[in-house]
């Protein structure tokens, strides 16, 4: 998976436009906190996440249902 992050503080305008093949991660329709992103992104960029994704997806496209199937480690980092 190829991941890029944009935070609200990175935007110099009041709005942002995305292409239709972009998945936006959120919680209850609100942006994720920096703390959550700092914990989540290393996992999503890890070999473990990549292997999981390859096992559940038959294509190169990442869709929301595939992302929801990923087994994300708990916040404390212990499995």
Domain ranges of the chain: 8-69
Read off the pLDDT of residues 50-65 as tens digits, 9 standing for 90 and up.
888 888 877 767 788 8
32 with 44: CB under 8 angstroms?
A: no
67 with 22: CB under 8 angstroms?
A: no
Mean pLDDT of the chain: 80
Read off the pLDDT of residues 14-26 as tens digits, 9 standing for 90 and up.
777 777 777 788 8
User: What pLDDT was estimated at residue 62?
Assistant: 78
Phi then psi for 42, rounded to 5 degrees? -60, -35
pLDDT exceeds 60 at position 79: no
Q: Does the predicted model carry a pTM greater than 0.75?
A: no
pLDDT exceeds 70 at position 77: no
């Amino acid at each position: 998976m190829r991941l890029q992050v944009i935070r609200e503080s990175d935007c110099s305008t009041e709005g942002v436009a995305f292409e239709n093949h972009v998945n936006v991660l959120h919680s209850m329709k609100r942006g994720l906190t920096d703390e959550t992103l700092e914990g989540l992104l290393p996992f999503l960029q890890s070999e473990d996440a990549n292997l999981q994704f390859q096992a559940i997806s038959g294509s190169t496209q990442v869709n929301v249902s595939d992302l929801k199937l990923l087994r994300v480690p708990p916040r404390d980092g212990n499995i």
